[in-house]
């Protein structure tokens, strides 16, 4: 069974490889990123330990040039330290990539947006958040990537909420590159 799994996975990835021809063979490290799109899904840890939230997070990044991309992400909570806490971030931002497209990519960026927060003893509110980030992306098999990111969320909580959820944030995601 295991012997058959690798050929099946390779065969399934061929249609995706045809969508991104610059990611195949010797052209995989050609430095070209402009007008490409990265779509990913992963895990994110937000907030300080007393109100920690583990999220399933979807993300995208569209490269406007070889070094600059517009990005966005949204998440839904998988688990929270506070029972019945609701924490839904919706963010947009940008990233500056230090190297043109290579098998790995270091980047700096920032996201800004809104977070819907609700806890059992507090009213639901929308709060603004800014998160500067630093990350690394590893590209593999032509069109796939694995990404790790660290940042610090500065959450400007609403006046109705007494929570200050500013804290380091960590993200890991996988996806494909078109």
- Tell me the pLDDT of the chain (178 aa) as tens digits: 556 665 665 565 555 445 454 455 445 545 567 788 999 999 999 888 888 889 999 999 999 988 899 999 999 999 888 888 888 999 999 999 987 667 788 999 999 999 988 888 777 888 888 999 999 998 887 788 999 999 999 887 655 566 678 889 999 999 988 7
Task: Name the residue among 44, 47, 48, 96 with its Cα closest to residue 75.
Answer: 44
Per DSSP (E only), the strands in 47-166 are: 53-63, 68-80, 86-97, 104-119, 122-140, 144-156
Given the candidates 1.10.1660.10, 2.40.160.20, 3.40.50.150, 3.40.980.10, the CATH classification of the domain at 36-177 is 2.40.160.20
Domains of the chain: which residue ranges? 36-177
pTM of the full predicted structure?
0.77
């Amino acid at each position: 069974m295991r012997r058959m799994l690798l050929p099946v996975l390779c065969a399934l990835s061929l249609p995706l490889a045809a969508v991104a021809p610059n990611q195949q063979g010797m052209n995989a490290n050609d430095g070209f990123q402009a007008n490409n799109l990265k779509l990913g899904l992963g895990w994110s840890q937000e907030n300080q330990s007393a109100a920690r939230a583990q999220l399933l997070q979807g993300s995208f990044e569209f490269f406007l040039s070889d070094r600059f991309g517009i990005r966005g992400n949204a998440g839904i909570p998988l688990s929270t330290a506070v029972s019945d806490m609701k924490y839904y971030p919706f963010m947009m931002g940008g990233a500056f990539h230090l190297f043109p497209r290579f098998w790995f990519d270091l980047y700096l960026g920032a996201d800004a947006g809104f977070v819907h927060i609700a806890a059992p003893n507090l009213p639901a509110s929308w709060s603004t958040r800014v998160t500067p980030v630093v990350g690394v992306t590893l590209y593999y098999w032509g069109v796939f990537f694995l990404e790790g990111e660290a940042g610090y969320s500065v959450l400007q909580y609403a006046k109705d909420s007494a929570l200050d959820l500013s804290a380091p944030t960590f993200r890991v995601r996988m996806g494909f590159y078109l």
